[in-house]
Amino acid sequence: MSVTIKDIAKILNVSYATVSKALSDRDDISEEMKAKVRKVAEELNYKPNYIARGLVKKETKTIGLIIPDITNPFYSEIAMAIEETVNKEGYSVFLCNSNWKNSNENDYINLLTSKKVDGIIIAPIGEESLNLESVDIPIVIVGTKKSYNNQNYVVIDDEKGGYIAVKHLIKQNCKKIMFVGGKQNVQSNKQRLEGYKRALIESNYEINEQYIRSGNFKQESGYLIMKKVFNDGIIPDGVFAGNDLLALGVMRSALDFGLKIPDDIKIVGFDDIPFASLPEISLTTILQPKYKMGEHAANMLLSKIKNPEINCENIILKPKLIKRKTG
Amino acid sequence: MSVTIKDIAKILNVSYATVSKALSDRDDISEEMKAKVRKVAEELNYKPNYIARGLVKKETKTIGLIIPDITNPFYSEIAMAIEETVNKEGYSVFLCNSNWKNSNENDYINLLTSKKVDGIIIAPIGEESLNLESVDIPIVIVGTKKSYNNQNYVVIDDEKGGYIAVKHLIKQNCKKIMFVGGKQNVQSNKQRLEGYKRALIESNYEINEQYIRSGNFKQESGYLIMKKVFNDGIIPDGVFAGNDLLALGVMRSALDFGLKIPDDIKIVGFDDIPFASLPEISLTTILQPKYKMGEHAANMLLSKIKNPEINCENIILKPKLIKRKTG
DNA sequence: ATAATTAACTTAAACGTTTAAGTAAAAGAT
DNA sequence: ATCTTTTACTTAAACGTTTAAGTTAATTAT
C-alpha cells in the first residue's frame, strides 16, 4: 500500500538497514548514500511508520489526557497548554472526555495502556474508585491533590482559595454566605468547601448545612440550585460558587429572582475563565493559572518519561482573588 | 517488561496463535481453552498491545482532529461531539491545535499519517496552502466548504448566515452597518462577508470598505478593532461580527466608548457559543449546531473508514438567527 | 609488506500481534 | 471397516521498523 523503507532499499539495491540508518542520520552511513536515500524517499513521498517504530523502540511519542469535559473552559485551557507543550517535544495527545464518570476514567486508562502511550495526565473527577495501581506508565494528576497511588500532582491550593473567597465576602459584610458546589465527591470541591468552613469558623459564623448545596460543575446546575433555594425562602447575601460556571448560573438565578448584584447578593466564583472578565459579567473570582498548570503538568510528565527514576516534587500553585463587580 | 500473549502461551503450554484466537473469541478454539486463557490473562493482568495489532491489521482505531484552537468554545464543542461519537466505536482521537497557522496544519497532517491514524477531521484555517493531495487516508473537512482536493465536508451555510444577520440589522433600522471579521483568508469568514454584502446590496445600501474590518477570531481583536474605529470617528449603528468572541469584544468596546446596546448600536454575532445566552450578555447571534456538526463529521469519517469506496454527500446545515437583546 | 584500524555497509533477529495454511486426532458417514 | 469431515489445535510468515553483530574493502600505521 504505502511506501516503506523496503521500497527505497529495493530501488537503491541496498539493505533496508542502510536506508533506516541513512534516514536517521547515523554516522556509519556515507554522506553520498544518505543523500541518495533522502532523494528517493522524497521522490516516493515516503512517510515513516511510527507504529512499526513504536513496536521496536517501545515508545509511541504519545500521551493520554483524561479530563471530565473539554467543553469546560477550565479544562480546554489546560488541554491547550498540555498539547502545545508536549508537541514541542514531538509528542501527540489523545483527548479523552471522562464526562464526569469514573467508569469512563478507568476504561480510558485501559485503552491508553493498550495503545501504549508513554504517559498519562489525568484530571480526575475525584472518586475513590479511580484505579491506578496496576498502571506502570508515568502518570501526572492535575487539579486535585488527593493521593492516587502516590502519583505526582499539579494543583492550586483549593482550600486556601475557598478560604480567601469567603474571607472576602465576610469583609464585604455578608452575613448569610452560601456555598454552591459541584459534585460532592470531587476532591477539589471538598477542599474549597473546607476553606469556606474555615473562613466562617474563624470569623465566628455559624456553619449552616442549609447553606451548603451541591450539583455538578455546569451553569444550569447553579441556576437550578439557586432557584430551589429562593423558592425555599432562603435569601443569602453572599454566595461562594465552586466554579465560575456555577457562579454564572447563580447570577442568572439571582437576577431572575429580582436581586441586585452586588447590592443584594455578592457572588464569588472560582477558576477565572475567560468570560468572567467581560464587563457584562465582571465576576469576582479566584484565579487559577490554568495555562501554567497545564504547562507544569506536561513538563512534569515529560521529565518522568525521560527519567523514570528521579522523582519529582509536587506543584501547588497559589490561588488569587480577582476583585470585580459581583462582590 | 509488560505481559504479552507469549507469556500466557508459555504458562498454558500452547502456541501463541491459540492464545490470540482464544482472546478474540474465534470459533476454532474450544470453550475450555478459551476459559483457561482468559483466566491466565486475567491473573497476569494482560493488556493487549494495540501497537503490535495495528501493525498487522493496518488499522490503529485512532483518528486525528486538527482544529485552530481548542480553547474556542466553538471548536471545543465540535471536539467533544467528535470524541464522544467515535469513542462509541472504539476509536481514540489525537487533539491537534493548529493555532491558526497553516504550517502547523501541514505538519500535523504529516505527523498523523506517520502515526497511521485511520482518518482525519480537520477544521482548516482556510489557506490555500493546506496540502491534502498526497494524503491517502480518509478526510473530512468541518466548518468550511472551500474545496480541498475534493474532500467531503460538513458546514453550515455561512453566506446565508451572514445574509440573515445583516438583513436582521437592516430590519431593525440600522443605517451604518459594519462587518468585523476574523482572518481575511478564512473561507467561512469570506462567506459571511459575502452574505453581508448581498444583504446590503439587496436593500440598496452602499458597500463602504471603511465599514469592513478584519482581525482574528478572538475577543481582544474585536475590542481593538472597534477601539480604532471609534477613535477614527466612525460610529456605526449596527455591527455584524464574524463570531461571538469578536462580538463580545465589540460589545465591550462599545460600552467603553459610552454607547448603549442596543439603543445606540446593535450587534449580531455568529456561532451561539454557550455564553451568548447569558442574560448579562444576551447576544443576538447566528446559531451553528456545533454538536451536530461534530457528530455528522465523525459519522461521515467512520463511514469513509469502513467503506472507502462509497462516496458521501456533503452536509450543509442551516443557520438560524437567535434574537436576543443586543440587536 | 603486513598488521591493525576504520568506513560503509549487510545480516538477521527482535518488537507483539494476527492469520492463512497445515496437521493430527476424533467423530460421522457409507 | 474405510473414507470423509470436523474439531482443535500448531506452524510460520507477515506487518515496518530498529539495532547489535558480522563482513568486506579501503585506509592507516609500523
Q: What is the pLDDT of residue A126?
A: 80
* Paired residues of A152 in beta bridges: A140
Q: What is the pLDDT of residue A219?
A: 87
Indicate if B169 and B282 belong to the same structural domain: yes
* Residue B170 CA, nucleotide C14 C1', distance (Å): 72
Indicate if A100 and A182 belong to the same structural domain: no
Indicate if B190 and B229 belong to the same structural domain: yes
A161-172 burial: b if 16+ Cβ within 10 Å, else e: bbbbbbbbbbeb
Residue B150 lies in a domain: yes
Indicate if B173 and B256 belong to the same structural domain: yes
Degrees, nearest 5: CA angle A82-A181-A196: 100
- The 10 Å Cβ neighbour count of residue B147 is 11
Mutate to test the interface with A, among B67, B95, B121, B326 (most CBs of A within 10 A): B95
Q: Is the CB of B48 under 7 A from strand C?
A: yes
Residue A247 lies in a domain: yes
Question: Which among A256, A237, A250 has a CA at the least distance from the CA of A283?
Answer: A250
Q: Is A15 left (phi over 0), alpha (psi -120 to 50) or beta?
A: beta
Residue B322 lies in a domain: no
Indicate if A114 and A171 belong to the same structural domain: no
Q: What is the pLDDT of residue B314?
A: 96
Q: Does B69 touch chain A (CB under 8 A)?
A: yes
Indicate if A198 and A268 belong to the same structural domain: yes
Residue B55 lies in a domain: no
Round the CA-based radius of gyration of chain B to a whole number and report it: 26
Binary contact (A51, B45; C-beta < 8 A): no
Binary contact (B251, A280; C-beta < 8 A): yes
Q: Does A69 touch chain B (CB under 8 A)?
A: yes
Cross-chain CB nearest to B248 (options A54, A115, A278): A278
Q: Is the CB of A310 under 7 A from strand C?
A: no
Q: Does B204 touch chain A (CB under 8 A)?
A: no
Indicate if B20 and B72 belong to the same structural domain: no
Residue A212 lies in a domain: yes
Q: What is the pLDDT of residue A160?
A: 97
Q: What is the pLDDT of residue A280?
A: 76
> What is the per-residue pLDDT across A186-231, written as a single tens digit (0 to 9) for each?
888 999 999 999 999 999 999 999 999 999 988 899 999 999 999 9
Degrees, nearest 5: CA angle A150-A153-A157: 120
Place of cell 482550600: A159
Cell of B249: 469584544
Indicate if B34 and B73 belong to the same structural domain: no
What CA dihedral angle connects A283, A288, A289 and A291, to 10 degrees?
-90
Query: CA-to-CA distance for A188 and B13, rounded, in angstroms?
Result: 50
Name the average pLDDT for chain A: 94
CA distance A148 to chain B (A): 20
Degrees, nearest 5: CA angle A190-A196-A197: 90
> What is the per-residue pLDDT across B41-62, written as a single tens digit (0 to 9) for each?
999 999 999 999 999 999 999 9
- The 10 Å Cβ neighbour count of residue B170 is 18
CB-facing half-sphere around the CA of A230: CA atoms within 13 A: 19
Q: Is the CB of B35 under 7 A from strand D?
A: no
What is the residue range of B298's domain? 60-155+290-315
Q: In chain A, how many domains are there?
A: 3
Provide the pLDDT confidence category of residue B4 given band limits of 50, 70 and 90: very high
Question: Which among B194, B82, B196 has a CA at the least distance from the CA of B145?
Answer: B194
> What is the per-residue pLDDT across A34-90, written as a single tens digit (0 to 9) for each?
999 999 999 999 999 999 999 999 999 999 999 999 998 889 999 999 999 999 999
> What is the per-residue pLDDT across B139-166, written as a single tens digit (0 to 9) for each?
999 988 887 888 999 999 999 999 999 9
Averaged over A246-253, what is the pLDDT? 94
Question: Which among B103, B116, B120 has a CA at the least distance from the CA of B300?
Answer: B120
B102 burial type by CB count under 10 A (0-12 exposed, 13-18 middle, 19+ buried): middle
Question: Which among B203, B192, B193, B194 has a CA at the least distance from the CA of B169?
Answer: B203
> What is the per-residue pLDDT across B188-239, written as a single tens digit (0 to 9) for each?
899 999 999 999 999 999 999 999 999 998 889 999 999 999 999 999 999 9
**Residues on chain A touching B111 (C-beta within 8 angstroms):** 92
B12 burial type by CB count under 10 A (0-12 exposed, 13-18 middle, 19+ buried): middle
Binary contact (A115, B92; C-beta < 8 A): yes
Residue A321 lies in a domain: no
Task: With a cut of 80, say whether residue A1 has pLDDT above it.
Answer: no
What CA dihedral angle connects B205, B206, B210 and B214, to 10 degrees?
60
Give the SS3 label for residue B25: coil
A314: enclosing H helix or E strand: none
Q: Which nucleotides of C are covered by protein (CB under 7 A)?
A: 7-12, 14-22
Residue B94 lies in a domain: yes
Q: Does A131 touch chain B (CB under 8 A)?
A: no
Indicate if B81 and B198 belong to the same structural domain: no
A32 burial type by CB count under 10 A (0-12 exposed, 13-18 middle, 19+ buried): exposed
Query: CA-to-CA distance for A239 and A226, rounded, in angstroms?
Result: 10
Give the SS3 label for residue A116: coil
Q: Does B3 touch chain A (CB under 8 A)?
A: no
Round the CA-based radius of gyration of chain A to a whole number and report it: 26
Query: CA-to-CA distance for B139 and B143, rounded, in angstroms?
Result: 13
Q: Is the CB of A55 under 7 A from strand D?
A: yes
First to last CA, chain A: 64
Place of cell 432562603: A234
> What is the per-residue pLDDT across B8-24, written as a single tens digit (0 to 9) for each?
999 999 999 999 999 99
Output phi, psi for A153, to 5 deg: -140, 160
Indicate if B142 and B124 belong to the same structural domain: yes
CA distance B292 to chain A (A): 15
What CA dihedral angle connects B11, B14, B19 and B22, to 10 degrees?
-120
Q: In sequence order, which residues have a C-beta less than 8 Å from that of residue B188 and are 6 or more positions away?
A: B126, B143, B144, B155, B158
CATH label of the domain that carries residue A184? 3.40.50.2300
CA–CA distances in Å: residue A186 to residues A64, A215, A289, B18, B308? 21, 11, 20, 44, 44
Indicate if B204 and B276 belong to the same structural domain: yes
Cross-chain CB nearest to B92 (options A58, A84, A94): A94
Percent of the residues in chain B that have a pLDDT greater than 70, as a whole number: 100
Q: Does A257 touch chain B (CB under 8 A)?
A: no
Query: CA-to-CA distance for B18 and B27, rounded, in angstroms?
Result: 11
> What is the per-residue pLDDT across B241-257, written as a single tens digit (0 to 9) for each?
999 999 999 998 999 99
CA distance A295 to chain B (A): 15
**Residues on chain B touching A52 (C-beta within 8 angstroms):** 55
A20-29, A173-182, A275-284, B236-245: range with lowest mean pLDDT: A275-284
> What is the per-residue pLDDT across A140-195, written as a single tens digit (0 to 9) for each?
999 888 878 889 999 999 999 999 999 999 999 999 999 999 988 888 899 999 99
Q: What is the pLDDT of residue A264?
A: 97
Binary contact (B94, A92; C-beta < 8 A): yes
CA distance A97 to chain B (A): 7
Residue B254 lies in a domain: yes
CA–CA distances in Å: residue B192 to residues B182, B241, B270? 10, 9, 9
Q: B86-89, long-range: CB within 8 Å, 24+ apart, which pairs?
A: B86/B298, B86/B301, B86/B302, B87/A97, B89/B302
B281: enclosing H helix or E strand: none
Q: Is the CB of A1 under 7 A from strand D?
A: yes
Q: What is the pLDDT of residue B126?
A: 80
Q: Does A4 touch chain B (CB under 8 A)?
A: no
Contact predicate A215/A239, CB 8 Å = no
> What is the per-residue pLDDT across B90-116, written as a single tens digit (0 to 9) for each?
999 999 999 999 999 999 999 999 999
Contact predicate A144/A130, CB 8 Å = no
Q: How many CB pairs under 8 A join A and B?
A: 131
Amino acid at B204: N
Query: CA-to-CA distance for A12 and A9, rounded, in angstroms?
Result: 5
**Residues on chain A touching B95 (C-beta within 8 angstroms):** 65, 79, 83, 93-95
Cell of A261: 448584584
How many residues are present in chain B?
327
Q: What is the pLDDT of residue A188?
A: 87
Contact predicate B125/B186, CB 8 Å = yes
Query: CA-to-CA distance for B71 and B271, rounded, in angstroms?
Result: 15
Place of cell 469576582: A284
Q: What is the pLDDT of residue B236?
A: 97
**Alpha helices, H only, chain B:** 5-12, 16-23, 31-44, 50-57, 73-87, 102-114, 158-171, 187-202, 219-231, 244-256, 290-306
**Beta-strand (E) ranges in chain A?**
62-67, 92-97, 119-122, 139-142, 152-156, 177-181, 212-214, 238-241, 266-271, 284-287, 315-317, 320-322
CB-facing half-sphere around the CA of B253: CA atoms within 13 A: 27
Contact predicate A31/A13, CB 8 Å = no
Indicate if B101 and B32 belong to the same structural domain: no
CA distance B115 to chain A (A): 5
